[in-house]
Amino acid sequence: MSDLRDPAPYDALLLLSFGGPEGPDDVVPFLANVTRGRGIPEERLKEVGKHYFLFGGVSPINAQNRALLDALRKDFAEHGLDLPLYWGNRNWAPYLTDTLREMTVDGHRRIAVLATSAYASYSGCRQYRENLAESLAALEAEGLPVPRVDKLRHYFNHPGFVRPMVDGVLAALADFPADVRAGAHLAFTTHSIPISAADTSGPVEEHGDGGAYVAEHLDVARLIVDAVREETGVEYPWQLVYQSRSGAPHIPWLEPDICDHLETLHGEGVPAVVMVPIGFVSDHMEVLYDLDTEANAKAAELGLPVRRSATVGADPRFAAAVRELVLERAATEQGRVAQRCALGALGPGHDLCPVGCCPARALKPAAAGADSPYV
Ligand SMILES: CC1=C(CCC(=O)O)c2cc3nc(cc4[nH]c(cc5[nH]c(cc1n2)c(C)c5CCC(=O)O)c(CCC(=O)O)c4C)C(CCC(=O)O)=C3C
Ligand SMILES: [Fe+2]
């Protein structure tokens, strides 16, 4: 009988993130890495570069990941979970391939992977799996042993992800004067993606228009609205809206945009809005620029009071959720029945992405799924 804190078969945990620039000289090479072969218009890149330069060329994402690593180390130590932690990024140093090489050289062969993306979709899931496969292929080409990597399931509906956001919304609401607060709306925001990518982000028969991507965000929004009602006795009106659109204008992406939504609400006489960035695990540049800078300026122009609620970041409840996800998956791999914690209507998601899940335009090998070339 194995210990409930036994992470076997896993011998390490990899925090896999997007990566971001750490200074002005990093910005253009970072954007070149992100957009390699992705057909993002030149004007959009110049525009996005400006967002980074406004903050000294520093993305907030790396500091957020360092803080999360600290929170994870603390939580694991407190709970007697002995599992080495590593960090690698898809688009900036520390690069995923370098980290996986280091892990392999350190003797790790069975690696659990936590991606800093909570929802389904090509951009939020398969693209991470493709990058894992690319890095494993690089190790193989170097003659190194190829470790097995298992991506932990999506955690958008895990209480350790949802509850910190509920507290954030309560704090943002409390920041309005009572008379203004009474009529406030909640605007849940996430990254816009092409509608075609949303529709194929999970089995369409299961989720309808917008696919798993939209269904999962709606589930989280409802959970937060319900929890806020339980706490305050008020059911605040709400809507799921989008931000950070890129790509060619003739290709349809998910709408409405947060700024257009603020204008609509203002036109309807809504006195205040809390922007709730449920699509982002921590304070990414999309949160600092697209919400705190751009949407705030829009609201100021309209004379509409707005607040932005906190992202989950390094909240200790999220760190605990990560521990639970590792131990849950370890138990499953050990052949035991695992408790798979999830709130809302959708329930816990799959451990292994099914064949053809959240497809890319061009077929590339992707690790950690039923169609992985590496087992
Ligand atoms: C769903 C989603 C997430 C959430 C899930 C997750 O977190 O993974 C996310 C996260 C992020 N996206 C980020 C940055 C960028 N994303 C871009 C482009 C794109 N993102 C897309 C989607 C997503 N993106 C899509 C459909 C595109 C267009 C084409 C493509 O490439 O598929 C571009 C190119 C320029 C532009 O178009 O804006 C940049 C610079 C950063 C780092 C921010 C920082 O520095 O803090 C983070 C965390
Ligand atoms: Fe993105």
Would the ipTM clear 0.90, i.e. be above it? yes
The single-letter DSSP state of residue 348 is: S
Q: Is the CB of 147 under 6 A from ligand 1?
A: no
Mean pLDDT, range 326-345, rounded to an integer = 95
Angstrom distances, CA of residue 92 to CA of 62, 80, 89, 210: 10, 32, 6, 30
Nearest CA to ligand 1 atom 40: 31
pLDDT at 38 over 80: no
Tens digits of residue pLDDT in 215-256:
999 999 999 999 999 999 999 999 999 999 988 889 999 999
pLDDT at 3 over 80: no
Q: What is the pTM of this model?
A: 0.96
Which atom of ligand 1 is found nearest the CA of 213? 1
As given in the structure block, the two tokens for residue 245 are: 């659109």
pLDDT at 56: 98
Residue 261 counted as an annotated binding residue: no
| Contact partners, residue 71, CB within 8 Å, separation at least 6 | 314, 315, 316, 318, 319
Residue 350 counted as an annotated binding residue: no
Kind and range of the H or E run holding 217: helix 211-232
* Total length of the chain: 375
Which atom of ligand 1 is found nearest the CA of 30? 40
Q: Which domains does the chain show, CATH number per domain?
A: 12-156+314-333 (3.40.50.1400), 159-308 (3.40.50.1400)
pLDDT at 339 over 80: yes
Mean pLDDT, range 311-335, rounded to an integer = 97
Q: Is the CB of 50 under 6 A from ligand 1?
A: no
Q: Is the CB of 121 under 6 A from ligand 1?
A: yes
Q: Is the CB of 361 under 6 A from ligand 1?
A: no
Q: What is the mean pLDDT of the chain?
A: 95
